[in-house]
Structure 1
Amino acid sequence: MILDSAWVVAWLTAAADAIAEQAPTLNELDREIGDGDHGENMNRGFEAVRAALGDGAGGSTPSEVLRAAAMKLISSIGGAAGPLYGTAFLRASDAVSGRDELGSRDVVELIDAALRGIEERGHAVPGDKTMVDAWSAAATAARAASESGGDAREVLQAAAGGAEQGAASTDALLPHKGRASYLGERAVGHRDPGAVSTAVILRAAAEAAA
């Protein structure tokens, strides 16, 4: 599959499917260290994206579709996740602006830009037990795959695997941001729900390109 606007639509649709399926798990993870509504909020946001894409919203380039999705996520996801994911997709949109098709380096730029947006918006860094841990691991894996000659699909596969490893790494971390930080040591041993939803979304990106 060519990584063009049709791929972005396929990615976001697959992400909506996966988030809907994983919403109860995400809620349970969030219940352990947060408000317990991360899955519900993410599902509402991605269903809004799905509806918008079904109504013809988006555009003719990957950047335009990503931007349309970002605006829906910002307006539909409650809590901190809306601005964070919205910023991620807005920055990703900017990173690939003007390109009709995306290659391996474009994918790396897209993920890097999303990561930077989340870091700046949330004031978090790797190791804080947030979604940044998943995005950072994804960016590192994507860059390594691209530099070793991988094509765009291989870069996406690497990013998805990196995100999953990054999410798993949050189990052992002490939280420094968000509601989980109030729990201190009691949060150790629990996985960050935002890192898990990141892994779900990036795995959907890889599967949509397969």
Structure 2
Amino acid sequence: MDGLDAHQLTALFRLMSLRIDEARHMLGQLDGAIGDADHGNSMAEGFAAVVRASVQASSRGAGAGDLFAIAADSFLEAVGATTGPLYASAFLSAGQRYRGMQSLRAADIPGLIPAFASGIAARGKASAGDKTMLDVWGPAARAVVDAQAAGSAPLAVLDVALEAAEEGREATRAMTATVGRASRLGQRSLGHVDPGAASAVIIIAALRDGLAVHLGQGAG
């Protein structure tokens, strides 16, 4: 089975939500080192809201492509802090890419990563090396584009995207934060993983594992 309808896309969102919720405390600790310790709670609440809204929309007959705009609204309503607008923009960017589609092919799923990266970059105005979630989404998006151009299968594309994401997350340890609350710490932000980068890796890993399960290839 290749295509993902709204119910199956909702299941993918549910896996993201579960993984984020499991990491809530860890993400809070990372954020506590350089921010206000609310990143884990914010992400967990945002993705829980996405799941609730997606369940309701899919039960009303919404197409898979319609869920992204619904997810954007629900995430933003649940999370009013900086993370809310960033992920709302990510979901809206994906919604523009897949607007009107009743189902998404497996080959469409890796494209969520460059769509999210584009939305986050446009909203957040951060650059590579600023020690933000974009230091994960950017490399992962480039890995997707390169792997798709090489003709890789969807799951293989997500494998290389996840590898790039993990490398990006670890690279934030050596970066000095230049935007957001963490920028106030200056050199004291060195040595810490950016919490937004860490949560981005969790989302990408869940995307990969969710597609693997859908394709009957396990979760890695």
- Give the TM-score normalised by the residue count of structure 1: 0.92
Amino acid at match of 1:53: S
2:104 corresponds to? 101
TM-fit CA distance, 1:46: 1.2
Judged with a 3 Å threshold, the aligned counterparts in structure 2 of structure 1 residues 168 and 178 are, in CA distance, closer, same or farther, namely same
List runs of 5+ in structure 1 lacking aligned partners: none
Q: Is the 8 A contact 1:7 1:209 kept in 2?
A: no
Q: Is the 8 A contact 2:4 2:106 kept in 1?
A: no
Q: How does 1:1-210 map to 2 (within 5 A)?
A: 1-5=1-5, 6-57=7-58, 60-99=62-101, 100-102=103-105, 104=107, 106-107=108-109, 109-210=111-212
Secondary structure, counterpart of 1:133 in structure 2: helix
Secondary structure, counterpart of 1:55 in structure 2: helix
TM-fit CA distance, 1:201: 0.8
Describe the superposition over 1:67-104 as per-residue Cα deviations: whole angstroms up to 9, x where unpaired: 21111111102310000011001101111223333353
Amino acid at match of 1:4: L
Q: Is the 8 A contact 1:103 1:151 kept in 2?
A: no
Describe the superposition over 1:88-142 as per-residue Cα deviations: whole angstroms up to 9, x where unpaired: 01101111223333353x4454322221211111110111100000100111111
Amino acid at match of 1:161: E
List runs of 5+ in structure 2 lacking aligned partners: 213-220
TM-fit CA distance, 1:63: 1.8
Amino acid at match of 1:72: S
Q: Is the 8 A contact 1:102 1:152 kept in 2?
A: no
- Give the TM-score normalised by the residue count of structure 2: 0.88
Rounded Cα–Cα distance in structure 1 between residues aligned with 2:82 and 2:125 = 12
Give me the CA root mean square deviation. Answer: 1.8
Percent of aligned pairs sharing the same letter: 37
Rounded Cα–Cα distance in structure 1 between residues aligned with 2:19 and 2:85 = 21
Amino acid at match of 2:26: T
Rounded Cα–Cα distance in structure 2 between residues aligned with 1:76 and 1:55 = 16
Rounded Cα–Cα distance in structure 2 between residues aligned with 1:162 and 1:2 = 25
